[in-house]
Amino acid sequence: MKVLAVRAERGQVVKDEIIEGSLTDVVRRKAAEALNEWNPELSDFIVLRDYRELELPLPLKPELVDLFREIGSLSRTEDKAIGRFPVYTISFENAMKGEDQYVEYKIYLIAPYINDDVRTELEAEAQDITTEKEPPSGIKEEKEGT
């Protein structure tokens, strides 16, 4: 199987590779690499699995059907197929910047390689996740006695 591993740091994709192997093995290898860089005094170490859905036009190539059967699930409507696949996030440099602001500076996003469109989406997502955003503006707390 081909597995996509995207590494992003502070809003930039710094490494993007397609690795031959099982998804589980690639996640474990990348987690071990990240663990070697992780500073437990400054950051949490987090590995999360999420699932994404992808709408695909019919007819599907047999290789794509086999891939979705192996990694997730595949369903069909009248005019399209819907594939469900796992995406792992490994966060190894992150911080709480305020009460409502959690920032991830270095991550890996790992998923089965499906096609270049999904690759581009995951690269953009990795950049977005590691881009520090302004804290939410809203109602300011009133200080007692004012």
What is the pTM (predicted TM-score) of this model? 0.87
pLDDT, tens digit (0-9, with 9 covering 90-100), for 58-78: 999 999 899 999 998 999 988
Asked whether residue 93 carries a pLDDT value surpassing 90, the answer given is yes
Q: Can you tell me which residue has the tokens 């695909």?
A: 56
pLDDT, tens digit (0-9, with 9 covering 90-100), for 102-131: 899 999 999 999 999 999 999 999 999 999
Contacts of residue 111, defined as CB under 8 A and 6 or more positions apart, other chains included, come to 3, 4, 23, 52, 85, 86, 87, 88, 118, 122
